[in-house]
Structure 1
Amino acid sequence: MQQTKLATIEDVAAMAGVSIATVSRALNEPTKVAEKTRLKVTEAVAKTGYTTNAMARSLRMRRSNMILILAPDVGDPNFSNILVGLETEASKRGYGLLIGNTQNDPAREANYLRFISSNQADGLILFTGHLPYGYAQTEEVSRLPPMVAVSEPVVGAHVPFVGVDNFQGARVAVEYLIAQGHKRIAFVGKSGRETSRLREEGYRAALTAARLPIEPKLIMDGDGTTESGRAAAELMFVRDILPTAFFCVNDATALGVTICLNTRRYSLPQDYSVMGFDDISFASFMAPSLTTMKQPRSTIGEAAMGLLLETLSEARPKQKEILLRAELIVRNSVTRPKH
């Protein structure tokens, strides 16, 4: 039986109508090649079957050209748009993605880490807010590949972080409420999360700058879900400690607060104003539509992947932190207080 001849880089170059050097650059450093040329090379690779050879080369170099993403909940409304940015940047540079939905389960997380130990992934993107389970010690962390934290910082672990500027975004949000005339503003947070701590700091900074008192009884903890937002607002009524406006750690919490107020038959925003953070898909469909701070999610994903791949190629990250600005989105859930 006659064996099929393996395709060579010369075959790819001939079919694409470019030089061998251009083919090599398109495969190994795609960002340095014009998109039209890169597409021609990619098409030629597919037609000639040179992909097999490229995979073999990656194995010889002990590179998989895959990035492992660990996320606690892939159903999080913020995740999908950030993932688009991650995938877009990874694809430009010849990388693919592996997604591990950990559900905050140490066993599931450890199972996904087999891709690292078996050299099936070259780097890690962490949405979890912590180092992978079992890697708490410095000497253990050194065995992990380059990592970048996205959305939720990894406190005290020196992991580069890419996300929104939570402090400044929250400060802008509360300053907007103050500008509308609100002086008693509640904050409903998310216990145990660094993003929530930073947003609370921004809330406090805005009140302090406006010389408004910070009332501890108007600061409530939650878990970031719609139900926790509803429960926090309900508890304020039970305690008879009421603000004129609610600033919520995220849009899901704001929805819960809104549900509570609607159930009690208050007119929004005339009786109470509600403000969220994130601008997820349903924010504009709420009644009233939600005023919130919009995260540039796709840009966050692109910046995070770019930083990780720079680290892979240069052995050290150029930046330890990339903070992007949140945008104030004014809709119908905030107005001036009645009194």
Structure 2
Amino acid sequence: MATMKQVAEKARVSTTTVSHVINNTRVVSEDARERVLAVIQELRYIPSAVARSLKNDRTHTLGMMIPNNSNPYFAEIIQGIEDASFKLGYNIILCNSYDDPKKQAAYIRVLMEKRIDGLILVSSGSDEELTQLLADEGIPKVLVDREVSGVVADFIEADHEQGGYEATRYLIGLGHKHIACVAGPDILLPSGDRVTGYRRALQEAGLEFKSEYLIHADFTSQGGFNAFQQLLALQQRPTAIFASNDLMAIGGIRAANEAGIRIPEALSVIGYDDIALASFSTPPLTTIAQPKQAIGNLTAQILVNRIVDPEAPLRREMLKSSLVIRQSTSKPEA
């Protein structure tokens, strides 16, 4: 790999001049600049991002921590953030905590060592170490979807309570009175908010909340499969189920198929997120679409603004979700 010294020797200039050309830190004659750029191209010289950051205190790199990249929802959020960041001149280093707060804290230390300019965090829950680490570090940060107690930062979320309410209200509007909810882990705020919306819609319609109709599972197809099996074994089986994410809904549809329960005729199913896979399930899934592209764009913009102006007022943004009607829901059978 070529070095800055080799570039300087071949271009017949000092290493200082090469540095000024790369970093735009001082005016260099047009002739010298052209020679340096030509040699850089010829030798395929790649400047050290760390060395440059020591000089100008910027690496133009953002760290991003997510709970689980096997969940298509997070994969689609990453794509939105990465696209927007690239347009703003920033690269992304991605870390995956696999829903482990300890691993999350360890990875954040690694990202700090890489001299990232800012951090995007979709939390896997918090522990004392994580809270202390984020509170101590003055690095610009944006929390997405999930707040971390004790950490003051810009925060972007979708309105999960409204989404849960809209999903349940739609099922009630179709005529369903026996509506169950397969919720996410009860330690996560978005899960709790979606359940709050579900219960609010039931209460408004004068329908009784039944504790056996609420099951918490992890945000996976297997979690949904197991939860639906439990619900479909009840003596008074629900006629509709609101699943707190599309993966759980898709796993649940398989459980219903194995039990010989036809969807949507005998059971309506509505999901949450509108991942790309939702329109290809059998039947195509009615769901609450999260504004993933808008979340991605806004996250990148807010973080870059925070890097440029650390003293700007903190921002809290709540984006609206929307109902997408497909073929997994219908009126209940007479």
What is the TM-score with the length of structure 1 in the denominator? 0.81
Task: Note the C-alpha offset of 1:106.
Answer: 5.3
Instruction: State the SS of the aligned residue for 1:149.
Output: strand
Equivalent pair of 1:249/1:276 in contact (CA under 8 Å): yes
Distance 1:165 1:66, change over 3 A: same
Distance 1:76 1:273, change over 3 A: same
Confirm or deny that 1:164 pairs with 2:162.
Answer: no
Task: Note the C-alpha offset of 1:181.
Answer: 0.8
Equivalent pair of 2:52/2:59 in contact (CA under 8 Å): no
Task: Output aligned runs, 1:25-174, within 5 Å.
Answer: 52=47, 58-105=53-100, 108-118=103-113, 120-131=115-126, 134-137=129-132, 141-155=135-149, 157-174=151-168
Instruction: State the SS of the aligned residue for 1:158.
Output: coil
Give the distance between the partners of 1:311 and 1:132, measured in 2 at CA: 25
Confirm or deny that 1:220 pairs with 2:233.
Answer: no
Instruction: State the SS of the aligned residue for 1:315.
Output: coil
Give the distance between the partners of 2:102 and 2:198, measured in 1 at CA: 37
Distance 1:132 1:159, change over 3 A: farther
Unaligned ranges ≥5, structure 2: 1-5
Task: Note the C-alpha offset of 1:56.
Answer: 5.3
- Among all aligned residue pairs of Structure 1 and Structure 2, give the percentage whose two residues are the same amino acid: 30
Give the distance between the partners of 2:161 and 2:300, measured in 1 at CA: 23
Give the distance between the partners of 1:3 and 1:196, measured in 2 at CA: 61
CA RMSD of aligned residues (A): 3.2
Q: One-letter code of the match for 1:149?
A: L
- Match of residue 235, structure 1, among 224, 230, 236: 230
Give the distance between the partners of 2:261 and 2:30, measured in 1 at CA: 69
Distance 1:11 1:256, change over 3 A: same
Task: Note the C-alpha offset of 1:55.
Answer: 7.1
Task: Note the C-alpha offset of 1:333.
Answer: 0.7
Distance 1:210 1:155, change over 3 A: farther
- Match of residue 306, structure 1, among 276, 284, 301: 301
- Match of residue 333, structure 1, among 324, 328, 332: 328
Which segment drifts farther, 285-294 or 88-97?
A: 88-97
Unaligned ranges ≥5, structure 1: 17-42
Distance 1:86 1:15, change over 3 A: farther
**What is the aligned partner in structure 2 of residue 269 from structure 1?**
264
| Structure 1 residues 186-242: Cα deviation after superposition (integer angstroms, max 9, x where no partner) | 011012221110100111111122222222221111112212222222222333132
Give the distance between the partners of 1:140 and 1:149, measured in 2 at CA: 11
Instruction: State the SS of the aligned residue for 2:85.
Output: helix
What is the TM-score with the length of structure 2 in the denominator? 0.82
Instruction: State the SS of the aligned residue for 1:69.
Output: strand
Task: Output aligned runs, 1:180-259, within 5 Å.
Answer: 180-191=174-185, 192-259=187-254
